[in-house]
Amino acid sequence: MSWGNETTAAPAEETNGDSWGSDAAAETTENTDGATEGGEGETEAAAPQPPKPVLSKEEYIKNARNQGWNETTAFDYEQYNRTGGDNADWAGAGTKYEFKGEYGDVAPEVPELELLLFGGEFQMKKGEHYKNLPIDAAVEGPKKIDPIKSFDDAGLHPVVLDNVKRCGYAEPTPIQQYVVPAAMSGADVVAVSQTGSGKTAAYMIPVLSNLMGKAKKLCGPRPKYDDPSYNPKFSNVRAEPLVVIVVPTRELAMQIFDEARRMCYRSMLRPCVAYGGLPMGIMCDDLGKGCDILIATPGRLCHLMEKPDLLTMSRIKYTIIDEADEMLNQDWAEELQKIMAGGDSNDDADHTYMMFSATFPKEARKMARQYMADDHYLIRVGRAGQAHKNIRQEIIQVDRDSKRDAVYDLLMACDPGRTLIFCNSKPSVDLLDDFLYNRGLPTTSIHADRGQREREDALRAFRTGRCPILIATGVSARGWDVAGVQHVINYDLPSNMYGGIQEYVHRIGRTGRIGHQGLATSFYTDRDEELQQDLVNILVECECEVPEFLAHLKPEEGAAVDFDDDTDDEAEVEETAGEDGVAAPAAWGAETSAEEGADAGGFAADAGGFAADDGGFKADGAAAVSVGGW
């Protein structure tokens, strides 16, 4: 596939990353100064590589075009100071369905908006390797959950069901099968499943469905547009949301806002978004038109909570924390405390809390419990922190000084396609962007020191394929869902200081989403030793090749991988406490099979799957159900 100008507008299906790319990694190691293919011994024995010819800028550009990479797009950074950037709208000001008072129970369709929300050629479609997603679910909670087998049988509000179909969600993913009924029951939920497994819709669908039936009664105030004294400058109302969804990054807030706009289409519920960098004027104007669902980053939300004329949290019924382990991090402690207390609504018995993530280390699990009702559900598909087999992981040993050349060679050896490159520091992002751009590659970059306009433009350029190579710091990329990312490159592996193995799982999870395949290549240097055992464990679990230089860390033939983080002490205690035929809690790391669930005296629940050969799930998943904590 080429990335010429025509291809940038190609439908997502054509660029869905299903190809594993070429054998680029192997080729690269041969091409790269100082980069090695094999073990340390081999490095020492390798003959010195002849120096590479230095090409002129024009020659580099020509080579990049010959390889199929499209034209580079120069960003005029001065422009941001002059005009505020490109002329596209702020993502936070995205158009949404505006329900009018005169509508009856069935609001009319708006074809242009429908096209905008659901017809996006860059919206992700389910991939053909969907059946590779883990299906084993472990559920702990007050009651047995009957997983939903289809959205039609889930008892959803018809408007939500319609919107689910418009999104092209033919059947619920494994995490949705359990979370939808649990959340519809009004219970608190903690849910963990792999990257790209549909956690956003898992909470959005049941929560909006629950509210839609009572929307007329519950919706927050709206300006009195038909009042003769209405004045757009002064007639704004206070935002009184029913749902608050808190996410750690601005880009994720915009993305979840998009999902909320889709699911609220033709309903009375009005979603708004608040994130740092979005001009206060635009944000307040939108909040002032009425807000029922608020998606926000923690800093901006806390800021708004101090302005009671703009926002009250007193009517919140659902508080949802996405990327919960990141949000439970000490860095956010103050904000999270404030948000979870929720102003005057905290004692409201009618208040549901939910937390979601792909990773949930022990420490975060302990903290999460303090916010949840005693009878909350814990729903886990696969192991917490598990990557999945749709991502082929390759680790290349590279000399630290040769990384730039190595990444250039790697890109030039790959089929052009959306590629996300992670560095650990902002200066590294800038330097690498300059280096690759000057070699004719269509790069753009994003990190926390960039202005919001630049960040939005960079992500838009990446999404549309205008700049198919995006270089980023890791933390900002949690949760990103961009169609057609076929390659993730860890230019720097995330050492423990940068989030360690959890961060690695989130980063590589930007590819291989919802049944697509993808490639993740990581450069390993002598500084990455602290990560080596965790890396090998993940590679073995996902049946990826362990490179020769790490082979000594593989578990003995036939031995299970030892994940240090599998169980909670509390869970171990409760394992002996099964009562009335109800199973003890499933350990965090353990796979729970139907047989195991049944043996443990639990309910062996059908995962509600579909035959594997039609691209769906195998119907052999199970849930061990238990009472108590996790």
Which C-beta is closer to ligand ATP: that of 75 or that of 462? 462
Residue 390's nearest CA partner among 145, 208, 130, 58 is 130
* 201 binds ligand ATP per the rule CB under 6 A: yes
Backbone angles phi, psi at 619, to 5 degrees: -85, 45
Kindly state whether residue 129 participates in binding ligand ATP, applying the rule CB under 6 A: no
Contacts of ligand ATP in 151-180 (CB under 6 A): 169, 172-173, 176
Contacts 24+ apart (CB under 8 A), 604-607: 605/137, 605/139, 605/144, 605/145, 605/146, 605/147, 606/147, 607/135, 607/136, 607/137, 607/147, 607/174, 607/177
Among residues 124 and 283, whose Cβ is nearest to ligand ATP?
124
At 516, list the tokens: 């697509």
User: Are 504 and 511 a contacting pair, CB within 8 Å?
Assistant: no
Say if residues 352 and 166 touch (Cβ distance below 8 Å): no
Minimum Å gap between C-beta 262 and ligand ATP is 9
192-200, 439-447, 525-533, 546-554 -> range binding ligand ATP (CB under 6 A)? 192-200
- 314 or 329: CB nearest ligand ATP: 329
Tokens of 532: 């080596």
Among residues 195, 444, 445, 476, the one that binds ligand ATP under rule CB under 6 A? 195
Interface with ligand ATP includes 517 (CB under 6 A)? no
CB 471 within 8 A of CB 429: yes
Q: Give whichever of 200 and 210 is closer to ligand ATP, judged by the CB atom.
A: 200
How far is CA 307 from each of CA 238, 239, 272, 278, rounded to the nearest angstrom?
Answer: 10, 11, 16, 17
325 or 409: whose CB is closer to ligand ATP? 325
Would you count residue 358 as binding ligand ATP (CB under 6 A)?
Answer: yes
Neighbour order of strands in the sheet with 243-246: 137-140, 377-381, 189-192, 352-357, 318-321, 243-246, 293-296, 271-274
User: Which residue number, 28 or 176, has a Cβ lying nearer to ligand ATP?
Assistant: 176
The residue from 8, 15, 163, 197 that contacts ligand ATP (CB under 6 A) is: 197
Q: How far is the CB of 358 from ligand ATP (least distance, A)?
A: 4
In the complex, what is the shortest distance from the CB of residue 365 to ligand ATP, in angstroms, rounded to a whole number? 16
Closest C-alpha to 410, from 7, 3, 30: 30
Q: Tokens 């009924």 identify what position?
A: 181
> Got the DSSP string for 160-208?
HHHHHHHTT--S--HHHHHHHHHHHTT--EEEE--TTS-HHHHHHHHHH
| DSSP conformation class of 449 | T
* C-beta of 211 vs 508, nearer to ligand ATP: 508
Give the shortest CB-178-to-ligand ATP separation in angstroms: 13
- Which residue's CB is nearer to ligand ATP, number 179 or number 535? 179
Phi, psi of 296, deg, nearest 5: -150, 150
Applying CB under 6 A, among 70, 200, 312, 386 the residue interacting with ligand ATP is 200
Determine the size of the site formed for ligand ATP (CB under 6 A).
Answer: 19
Q: How far is the CB of 36 from ligand ATP (least distance, A)?
A: 32
- Map tokens 């680029």 to a residue: 24
User: What is the closest distance, in whole angstroms, from the C-beta atom of residue 513 to ligand ATP in the complex?
Assistant: 5
Site string for ligand ATP, 445-484 (x = CB under 6 A): ----------------------------------x-x---
Q: Is 199 near ligand ATP (CB under 6 A)?
A: yes
Nearest to 418 by CA among 483, 478, 343: 483
CA distance 424 to 444: 16
Using rule CB under 6 A, residue 514 touches ligand ATP: yes
Contact (CB, 8 A) for 262 and 311: no
Among 198, 206, 382, 628, binds ligand ATP (CB under 6 A): 198
Q: Could you say whether residue 502 binds ligand ATP (CB under 6 A)? A: no
- Cβ-based nearer residue to ligand ATP, 271 or 288: 271
Please pick, from the candidates 92, 147, 196, 440, the single residue that binds ligand ATP as defined by CB under 6 A. 196
Q: Which two tokens stand for residue 388?
A: 């999945």
In the complex, minimum distance from the CB of residue 140 to ligand ATP, in angstroms, rounded to a whole number:
20
Residues forming the site for ligand ATP (CB under 6 A): 124, 126, 169, 172-173, 176, 195-201, 358, 479, 481, 509, 513-514
